[in-house]
Amino acid sequence: MGAPQVRLSCTGQWPRRWTVTPRAATCRDMLGVRPRIDVRPRADGTVGPDGRGMSVNADPQRLPPSIRPQRRGGTGKLPLYKIGPPALGAALALEPPMPSAHAVVQPAREMYIDDFQDSLCATRGAWGKS
């Protein structure tokens, strides 16, 4: 029997041209991280597996009501997206690895912030509407 599967959820904006994947950018509510807020790049521009990254949640019902969409009992206006941890790929890591609620998608190893953003953006097609 394999490890239990966790579906991660995050809120995000729907791009106008696409209907099933989140928009990638370095601002709030989009697929990516905000430098100096979500991650703290070092002087050389690198980030690493330090517990900081893109926020996700394994249980959408545990999202604060202001973030949780209305159809899930909250007051949030943005949709939820979901992804299975295996779809994160080798460059990204989930911390904690099997969350029951909040977690972060962080770099799996030391890398430049641009490479981390590119790795997050590379998962765009794996996210689906929750």
pLDDT tens across the length of the chain (130 residues)? 333 344 555 555 444 444 455 656 566 667 888 889 999 999 999 999 999 999 898 888 888 898 888 888 999 888 888 888 899 999 999 999 888 888 999 999 999 999 999 999 899 888 888 7
- How far apart, in whole angstroms, are the C-alpha atoms of residue 128 and residue 102? 19
Sign of the C-alpha dihedral computed for residues 96, 13, 22 and 110 taken in this order: negative
Closest CA to 107 of 30, 54, 34, 37: 54
Phi, psi for 122 (deg, rounded to 5): -65, -20
- H helix intervals, the chain: 113-122
Taking the C-alpha atoms of residue 30 and residue 43, their distance in angstroms, rounded to an integer, is 25
Tell me what pLDDT residue 106 has.
Answer: 96
What is the domain partition of the chain in residue ranges? 26-33+46-125
What does the CA dihedral 66, 67, 73, 75 come to, rounded to 10 degrees?
A: 50
Tokens of 41: 């790049």
Q: 62: left (phi > 0), else alpha (psi -120 to 50), else beta? A: alpha
Diameter over CA atoms, the chain: 45
CB of 117 closer than 8 Å to CB of 41? no
The H-assigned helical ranges of 9-112 are: none
pLDDT at 9: 55
Predicted local confidence at residue 39, as pLDDT: 93
